[in-house]
Structure 1
Amino acid sequence: MDVFSRYAPFIQDYIYEQGWQTLRPIQVAAAEEIFKTDHNVLLSASTAAGKTEAAFFPILTELTEHPVDSIGCLYIAPLKALINDQYRRLTDLCEDQDFPIWRWHGDVSQSQKRRMLKNPRGVLQITPESLESFMINKHMDIPRLFHGLRFIVIDELHSFLRSDRGGQTFCLIERLSKLAGIDPRRIGLSATIGNTEAASQFLGAGSSHQTVTPKVKNTRQIWRLSMEHFYKMGPQAAKNQEENNQLIGSKTDKAPELADPGIGYIFEHTRGKKCLVFTNSREECEAVCQMLREYCAYRHEPDRFLIHHGNLSPALRQTAEDAMKDEDAYMTTCATATLELGIDVGKLESAFQIDAPFTVSGFLQRMGRTGRRGNPLEMHFVMREEHPESRAMLPDLIPWPLLQGIALVQLYLEERWGEPPAPNRLPYSLLYHQTMSTLASSGEMTPAELASRVLPLTYFHNVSQADYKVLLRHLIKTNQIQQTENGGLIVGLAGERVVNNFKFYAVFQENVEYSVHAGSEELGTIVKPPPVGDKIAIAGRVWVVEDVDRKRHQVYCHEVKGRIPAYFGDVPGDIQPKILQRMRQVLNESTMYPYLMNNAQARLTQARDTCNIAGIPQQQLINLGGKMWCLLPWTGSYAFLALERLLRIKCAKRLNLRGFNSSRPYFMEFAMDASADEFFQIIREEAAKDFTPMDLVYPKEVPVFDKYDEYLPDELVRKEFAESVLDIAEMKKCVAQMCAEHEKIKN
């Protein structure tokens, strides 16, 4: 098939204008599938491989050759910034065509939205939350707006594979399709899919179309990768301090007093370049930006640092995005995951990552921000830790972020491994949400009719009718739902307070946020505002609070000099078992990985020596002295959580367990009246017993885990936690492996 000649003339013209000599392999493969079949298509290829064009060149060709009098393509993306970026790209592509590209999210003007509603054609770009709002507030318009919908493009599919947000997205796709009487094809895009077979099943769930993943040979990529380690104060791990100073940068010793050498390293290595500095939390993002700006002030250099995270105002985020796209501006932006996904931030020279992200896909996405315009991918890890105290216990002497960073890199280099979709068990929180959304959009319906709308959604295939009855009875009892005289169900008074709040559209957990204002400028949002006169950190600067309006959730402030920690809410991290197992292997092997810099090599050697003396990682139960012990299970977050509960609920009495303390998912410390042999015998016996997941939930515990758990009956919250959060199968596998290895060492 001559793909180029099959494209619409305006797309051919665009390709000529861009000066492309050939089409990328993924573009040819996608065109073959989209033009010749009716399949759903998963396009998985490396960053900057041309996936967006691969999907949209044939889709736009089809829609211009065979126009429909409704929205023809729905594009769903996880971030507004990504939608804005793709909107510009598609608008440029369709500039001379009578083919509209629409955006729909909270920052889009009402006038634009009204124009789309009046004349629905072309491509509509939307977030899952805005689509939820659409389903509730524009319910009657759905058939008119989407009756000719032929394609749904889900960008950054990997970001939807392991959360209720992904479940919500696919529930909405099924609901919209049924309401509009359509059967659109699904096109998934991602650069970081590990298991394409599992991701294909996820993409096609509930669709009548077969789902395929075209196999293409990725072009060979060159990586410039380094990983360096720094103690925040005091001597570094590398013995040759003079050589180490050269690595840090000749001017680092002139940094402010008590300067953090890891931040000094970033400061020196971003000068005269365009870079991103990734952190794992908004608090750390603010702290790092503050320190880097302090360095500028101390050196009397112009401020060259920007900041970008989800709590900043749209104006400040847009300022950072625009500056990054400016080819002549050598700025560095401190960011969280908001700049991790496929937003085009121009010709970046390198990315820095402070500590290790939680996932292989996160590492690849962040490194993938670089390497555009034909340059190599470039990522520099900066691992920072405090010097261990002299009385620190053994597990505190292990550099966990360094091991985690090495494990993420090695898993991809050795196996091309990435996180699989999360197993879908009992998503009761989302079940509540979609039940209320369906009632709010459709109005009164009988219990049977409501169940027939919600339970057949593919994401709820494990939910029984009995459980749904329990949920509905509870919602009626708590006035979330009201039963009418006719026996029908409508949203109740308590339910209206939930549904009528704009935050209802999202299924991810949110904090109560206060908008922060300095004069006429909105800076962003914070949680837990301090008293008047205290300081807050936001937008990479420090401010004094002048007034707090708790009714309107607003904070007024003015800028001052200084540095303080920021607080935006907790940051969860779910780490897969395979990552912990590879971390164990890092300690166990003698390999010195080529990307490790001086300090990192020295710190890894030090950690290996320390662990070797203690018998780690071969032994997983280590005596810390007397009756104090440390267990290193080397398993994932949720299997670790299940093992904690097995020990505390099933084994505590037999072991006389006490003083239990854990650093999830790395190690547990406790005192016990048992030997290592007795410990492994007891946990083997208890893990082998016939018990249900509910046995690992404390008698009066109601472990609220997801956003809408508070509206569920206690029995369903407990059941969801036991069967959907605790990874008991992986925990039992872990126990069996630990016991077998203990026997092997003993014999």
Structure 2
Amino acid sequence: MFDAFGHYAPFIQDYIYEHGWQKLRAIQLAGADVIFNTDNNLLLSAATASGKTEAAFFPILTELAQDPPDSVGCLYIAPLKALINDQYLRLSDLCAGGDIPVWRYHGDVSQSQKRKLFKHPSGVLQITPESLESLMINKHADIPRLFGDLRYIVIDELHSFLRSDRGGQTFCLIERLGRLAACDPRRVGLSATIGDPRAAGRFLAAGSRRKTSIPKIKDDHQVWRLSMEHFYKTDPQAGAGSAAGQPPLAKASDQAPEMADPSMAYIFDHTRGKKCLVFTNSREECEAVCQVLRQYCEAKHEPDRFMIHHGNLSAAFRQSAEEAMKDDNVKLTTCATATLELGIDIGQLERAFQIDAPFTVSGFLQRMGRTGRRGNPPEMWFVMREDHPESRAMLPVLFPWPLLQGIALVQLYLEERWVEPPRENRLPYSLLYHQTMSTLASMGEMTPAELASRVLSLSYFHRVSQADYKVLLRHLLKTDQIQWTENKGLIVGLSGERVTNNFKFYAVFQENEEYSVHSASEELGTIVKPPPIGDKVAIAGHVWVVEEIDRQRHQVYVHRVKGRIPAYFGDVPGDIHPRILERMRQILSEDRNYPYLMANAVARLNETRSMASMAGMPAKQLVNLGGKTWCLFPWTGTYAFLALERLLKLKCAKRLGLKNFDSVRPYYMQFSMDVSPEDFFAIVKEEASKDFDPLDLVYPKEVPVFDKYDEYLPDELVRKEFAESVLDLAEMRRCVEKMR
């Protein structure tokens, strides 16, 4: 067997001894073998707290110590500043013995620290994709000196880059940096939630001319503490009067505030005396939940033990929550969104709650992985909530969709170890605009041919044709995003400068127009669409009255009051994969309970299966709701569902006599029609099987702006990207073909 420990530098060996490690873990042996004995890229996929960081950095730092580079030797890219700050302390401790400097480069790092890096580029540099973009644009001439001897690029939380333009941006920047600095670094990807390692390995290696080694680490049998309970927001509950032998019913807290529902009482009671996280799927819900839980504290005359953490809060608020969580003696609970989903070390968390189902298996695993460190099993309590349906509600409204979705997420991983794969082969025109403008902003004047060769050769744009790029450049010239020079070269135009000279240009993820909220000298965070003066706003888990709005500076001034109101931070769409909907369908037909379901959830699931069975579901996908009104359950993912909606409206409507169309994506569509179920399926299958242009599913005159920079694209490219990259026609056709 390969002697990894013997190959490590002496300071790494000392570090291992000092920390009392008895032996190296399998992932550390595998990582050392690949790095020391091959020239390949490396993908390390293993559970949270399995030692992935050490598996990568022990051998990397050994090589940097034995053969010091003439520039930054290792670039560490992470999706969050908080993760970088957390890993900075860990890496600094590890590197101290080898006299290897560790640098940070992001918006919260002082200019003096950045100047020191430029004077002595060396060691390990930690950076976010956005700060790397800024570096490429603003310090273009320094890139060869900073990275000329770059040996490794470590991408942490790789899964978070696999299904978005932010991942595309990251890998475009990696390729551009390699060309500019004339270096050929090896890539190392780290993740706890990779479902298709081969696809992730292809994504990691794209444009690198190296193979990716993916060690198979023995999957140790891991115990989970998992429960899933269901609540109506008012009594009675589904499990009221459950038979003996069922799991115990969840009890509402005594003397609860009248406005609070039993699910909040359940969370309040089961977080007392423990350090917990409560995950929500939106910032609005996060604020609402925190407000209610704080009202419980007030009603029960208990100290406030709830904190809040989401992307619209100020850095000070987020950092105070992170610091409090790292203190194992402080038993606080933090209400959070995906901002605490990734690998920040937040101490010995005892329990995670998830309100309703997340959108992805990956999200579920990451959130549960926040707990269970230092020898304890991961522990997650799902809390599924719904209102009692109205007495005349139709069938699809009676289904507990979050409960079915939550069970599907858990079962897909337990049964198949399935996690969402990368989104490959897209037409990323929004990112194409961004990287075109970034390249011109950093490199200055270029001929169209030079620009095309720089941008279109980036592997992420392999599906973009020369013809489409000409269409883009002509449009950018017409709109003054770029302009000609006297030498027939291209530079950034006046309109383009207004875009590229803004710090928000470094990010490719969608942002809302935000206002910062201030109470006296304290910044609370940001909101979208501030209410009128005198109205209330919810942020940082409290309610505030608006005193003044400075629209020029985008600032809102407030003072705090008691009460509870909804918050609004902008829409958060969910991309749900077809496999999840397929597994939800299977749940309805199974005659089994799942060991993690509590009494209310068991009762609600049994009730739902009984309703479905009486309607002939799930075998029957088209259910009559009375007269000519029907409901279609496609059981497919968000983007295939969207394509099917448009097929029905644009290709089938006349033949079906379709009227009163409504849908709840991606669960069901409701409409009236003039044909029989047999004719419906025949017509839909016939239309779906035709060889039509995907653009046929875009409405006339529709320009479906979907990504951040779509507004700067010509309409024809926006329509084409939506038709070929957002609408999932292939999956929609498979879905229709299986319908009966």
Same fold (TM over 0.5): yes
1:5 deviates by 2.1
| Aligned counterpart, 2:250 | 248
1:36: how far off?
1.0
Between 93-102 and 60-69, the greater mean CA deviation after superposition? 93-102
Name the residue aligned to 2:633. Answer: 632
- Which string of whole-angstrom CA distances, capped at 9 and with x for unpartnered residues, describes residues 398-439 of structure 1? 000000000000000000000000122211000000000000
- Measure how far apart 1:95 and its partner are: 2.8
Deviation, 1:98, is 2.3
- Measured in 2, the distance between the counterparts of 1:30 and 1:245 equals 44
The equivalences for 1:643-722 within 5 A come to 643-722=644-723
Per the alignment, residue 40 of structure 2 pairs with 39
Q: Which residue of 1 aligns with 2:576?
A: 575
Does 2:158 match 1:157? Answer: yes
Where does 1:247-396 land on structure 2 (aligned, <5 Å)? Answer: 247-249=249-251, 252-396=253-397
Q: Distance in 1 between matches of 2:29 and 2:148?
A: 29
Unaligned runs of 5+ in 2: none
Any idea what SS the aligned residue of 2:96 has?
A: coil
For 1:259 and 1:470, the matched residues in 2 are separated by 56
Deviation string, structure 1 residues 198-247 (Cα, Å, up to 9, x no partner): 00000000001111101110222110000000001120000327999964
Q: Please give the root-mean-square deviation of Cα atoms over the aligned residues, in Å.
A: 1.2
Structure 1 runs of 4+ with >6 Å offset:
241-246
Separation (CA, whole Å) in 2 of partners of 1:707 and 1:621: 37
Q: 1:41-61, CA deviations, whole angstroms, 9 ceiling, x for partnerless residues?
A: 000011111101111111111
SS in 2 for 1:253: coil
Encode CA deviations 1:714-746: one digit per residue, 9 max, x unaligned: 1111110000011101111111100xxx2xxxx
> Which residue does the alignment assign to 1:127?
128
Equivalent position SS for 2:16 = helix
1:534-573 maps to which residues of 2 (within 5 A)? 534-573=535-574
Equivalents in 2 of 1:678, 1:499: separation in Å?
54
CA–CA distance in 2 between the matches of 1:729 and 1:246?
A: 45
Instruction: Provide TM-score, normalisation by structure 1.
Output: 0.98
Aligned counterparts of 1:645 and 1:705: Cα–Cα separation in 2: 16
Partner of 1:485: 486
Q: Residue 587 of structure 2 aligns to which amino acid in structure 1?
A: V
Describe the SS at the equivalent of 1:254: coil
Is residue 248–residue 268 contact of structure 1 (8 Å, CA) maintained in 2? no
Asked if the contact 1:274–1:331 (Cα under 8 Å) also holds between the matched residues in 2, the reply is yes
What is the alpha-carbon distance in structure 2 between the residues aligned to residue 228 and residue 245 of structure 1? 10
Please give the secondary structure, in 2, of the residue aligned with 1:470: helix
In structure 2, give the amino acid aligned to 1:564: I
What are the within-5 Å matches in structure 2 for residues 83-232 of structure 1?
Answer: 83-232=84-233
- Residue-by-residue CA offset, 1:322-357 (whole Å, 9 max, x unaligned): 111101000111110110001111111111000000
Q: Secondary structure at the match of 1:312?
A: coil
Q: Name the aligned partner's letter for residue 51 of structure 1.
A: K
Partner of 1:72: 73
Equivalent-residue separation in structure 1 for 2:693 and 2:262 (angstroms): 50
Say if 1:194 and 1:416, in contact at 8 Å, map to a contact too: yes
Aligned mates of 1:248, 1:92 — CA distance in 2? 45
Return the alpha-carbon distance in structure 2 between the equivalents of residues 543 and 107 of structure 1: 27
Contact 2:88 2:104 in 1 (8 A): yes
Residue 96 of structure 1, CA deviation: 4.0
Q: Equivalent residue for 1:451?
A: 452
Deviations 1:526-572 (A, max 9, x none): 11011111111111111111111111111111111111101100001
**For the residues of structure 1 that align with 2:637 and 2:269, how far apart are their CA atoms?**
36
* Conserved 8 A contact 1:248-1:264: no
Whether contact under 8 Å (2:519, 2:557) holds in the other structure is yes
- 1:277 is paired with a residue of what secondary structure? strand
Deviation at 1:254, TM superposition (A): 1.6
Local SS of the residue matching 1:206? coil
The 1:690–1:246 alpha-carbon spacing in structure 2 relative to 1, beyond 3 Å, is closer
SS in 1 for 2:325: helix
CA distance in structure 1 between the aligned counterparts of 2:82 and 2:425, rounded to whole angstroms = 29
Residues 242, 599 of structure 2: 8 Å contact kept: no
Deviation at 1:363, TM superposition (A): 0.4
- In 2, the alpha carbon distance for the partners of 1:241 and 1:605 equals 12
Aligned sequence identity (%): 76
Query: CA 1:536–1:103 in structure 2 vs 1: closer, same or farther (change >3 Å)?
Result: same
Instruction: Please state whether the residue corresponding to 2:254 is helix, strand or coil.
Output: helix
Q: What TM-score comes out, normalization by structure 2 length?
A: 0.99
Distance of 1:347 and 1:56 partners within structure 2:
24
Distance between the aligned counterparts of 1:248 and 1:592, measured in 2? 18
Deviations 1:579-636 (A, max 9, x none): 0000000011111000000000000001011111111111000010001110000000
Letter in 2 for 1:460: F
Q: Which runs of 5+ in 1 are unaligned?
A: 743-747
Aligned to 1:612: 613
CA deviation string 1:70-103 (max 9, x = no partner): 1000000011111111011101212344211111
Q: Does 1:528 align with 2:532?
A: no
- Letter of the 2:222 partner, please give it: Q
**Whole-angstrom CA distance in 2 between matches of 1:55 and 1:335:** 29
Return the alpha-carbon distance in structure 1 between the equivalents of residues 255 and 250 of structure 2.
Answer: 12
> Where does residue 745 of structure 1 map in the other structure?
none
**In the alignment, residue 591 of structure 1 is paired with which amino acid?**
R
Please give the alpha-carbon distance, in whole angstroms, between the structure 1 residues aligned to 2:120 and 2:548.
45
**Contact 2:356–2:384 at 8 Å: present in 1 too?**
yes
1:150 partner amino acid: R
Aligned residues: 738
Cα distance in 2 between the residues matched to 1:457 and 1:721: 21
Give a deviation string over 1:438-482, Cα, whole Å, max 9, x none: 000000110001001000000000000000000000000000001
1:586-597 correspondence runs (5 A): 586-597=587-598
CA distance in 1, matches of 2:11, 2:77: 24
How far apart are the structure 2 equivalents of 1:261 and 1:565?
19
